[in-house]
Structure 1
Amino acid sequence: MSSNTTDGGFPPPSAYANLPHDDKRRSTLLSIWCLTALSLLFLAARLLCKLCTRRRLWWDDHVMVVAWMAMTVSVGLSTWSVTLGEGQHVWDVDPTHFGMIGLLGNLTGTFSILGAVWSKTSFALTLLRLLSNHPRLRILLWIGIISMNIAMGLNAVFLWVRCMPLVKTWDPSVPGTCWAPQVYPIYGIFAAGYSAVMDFVLALLPWKIVWRLQMRQQEKLGVAIAMSLGVVAGGMAIVKTSQIPSLAAGDFTYASIPLIVWGAAESAVTIMAASIPVLRVLLRDAHQLTLRHYMVSTGAGGTGVRGGDGDGDVGQEEMRNVVRVERQIQHRRDLEHGSEDDERALRHV
């Protein structure tokens, strides 16, 4: 055995001064909780938008709520692990905490995987609502949803069953046997990579759907871009995938931090991206409502024709007529460029 290590495989006290002692605990907590708060803000705005416009919550909304809850549990478990020393180098952590940090790592990974796959599933369910007239695309999308959940579900299961006895998966000091060291990282890379591919598929599919709708060109572009922001989540998934080999690092309490942060980022960004199309509808409707109120109030304020003896309501009535005429003009434009069914379908996004 080298004179630079002790019997436990750790550097002797005399070598500590030459080792790095940087600490990522504070930055890790700031990152994951900011992501959690931002995703909650977008999710709450999405739900309030639907409730305020008297639209019922659908399966995609419920699944998204469950996905956010899974992500939050994952972040909470990571916080617990950080208090035990995760985020520091392994030689700066109390060895008696290694077993608990390993167990919390397994739990964090499980809920992080569930949060990511369920948030993507929610957006896929949203797209299914726009594919009522496209049976082949619906079948392909269902295949994608099911296969993604199976791949990611197995990834979560393998976290726990790769060693016998099971406790050895989080406490290497327990006697037993495990899979070859490279097996689980390879499958984890495959599953995370497949999840990233699904992000890009879900981001590009709206262009095919929306561009075939009979709508104004400007409206098509806005809807397609709003529904394609999940490509950012795909980028997060790729970065997270690149961090999976770090699970095998000897300095596991420090090397695991990027995987924790990027795992939270993948779920949070997916939730935010899937909520933006709903918020876009809210902002558009709010703008139209504000414009109408402004027109009516301006007419009531004296721009309209007013009578001299108790005919003050004539200006308001004329403004109402103007609004009616504008609605009729807009209705004709909609009939020329597209159908009301398309617009009604997009309002459910």
Structure 2
Amino acid sequence: MNEHAPQRRAHRIRLVRYAMTATATAGLALTAFAPAPASAAPRPDTVQQRLNALVKEDGMPAALAAVKGRDGRSRTYTAGVGDLATGARVPVDGQIRAGSNTKAFVAVVVLQLVAEGRIGLDTAVDTYLPGLLRGDGFDGRNITVRQLLQHTSGLPDYMDAPALADFTAVQYRWFEPRELLDGALAQKARFASGTGWEYSNTNYLVAGLLIQKVTGRPFGEEVTKRVIDRIGLRHTYVPAAGDTAVHEPHPHGYLRTAPDAPLVDYTAMDASMAWAAGAVVSTNTDLNTFYGALLGGRLLPAAQLAQMRTTVPAELLGDGVRYGLGIQSRPLTCGGLVWGHGGTSPGYRTRGGVTEDGRAANITVTTVPDAPTGKRLTDAVDTALCR
């Protein structure tokens, strides 16, 4: 769940506040991937050096990556230790909690329902969830579905509620979505709907409730049927109620509760606190496959994909970053854009995405980094895609 929060809340740990990595200029039309030019893929030594530095110089317990180069070949990398208690190695392409990458999955489902005529993108949320959003400065009658997906609703972030101030106290606690929403409704609006941009996990909490109301099925089942199973993501799942484990080989994830505090193993957790904003478990390779299928037109009709890639400035996420509907774009130093999202969970952070010509990279570290290290993680993605 994720990040790059405004300065006034930068001292607090975020699940999804810092998650993101890709979306481009407004109105960008759907473009199929061009044929991959004959060129060398990212040099293993260069990418490996970046991962090694994240561990040895920045203190990340582990780093792991999956990179698809210009030649179409995929490579995986690991660095560090997968389990600090036992010294076990990092599993190659191990499962990780993908955090706010979940938002891209949820946005796809909403846009599929738009394509089916079951949801109107510029229709008020209150049409589907009457009376749900009423609070200090916000009203569901004035917030559209598009504004939810693009973080332009002005809704406050439920992650700022007192109940989630200490992640160690709620590691195994089950939250109902409505309980999380109540934590947001008790706060003031960030701005009037449609007049600004600010990342808020509440937007995707409401999007999950919207999916359930329209389909009559749990949001996780819809994500599984419409996205995960559709493109064959064999190592990706939405945790069921009460499922606190990571199912397949994985590096452990660690939470630091204060700058000088010891790391706490936060691998097992009740993901209900993240729900539709950040609960998905995946691998770096599956994330590459997902974003490649999405940008390649396999999950959405052209009209809805074009809407998804219509972006607004989101400089709080980094220089040149723009946010669309559940997906972001970030400029690359070698030219062009990387499209994806990124994600943060208490024990993991992932950055990455895909390019127009089919290159892909996702890199994960196994604790939430400080701001300078987070920048170096983003730079490592740039290295993987540009070399």
User: Which has the larger Rg?
Assistant: 1
TM-score norm. by structure 1 comes to: 0.26
TM-score norm. by structure 2 comes to: 0.25
More strand by share: 2
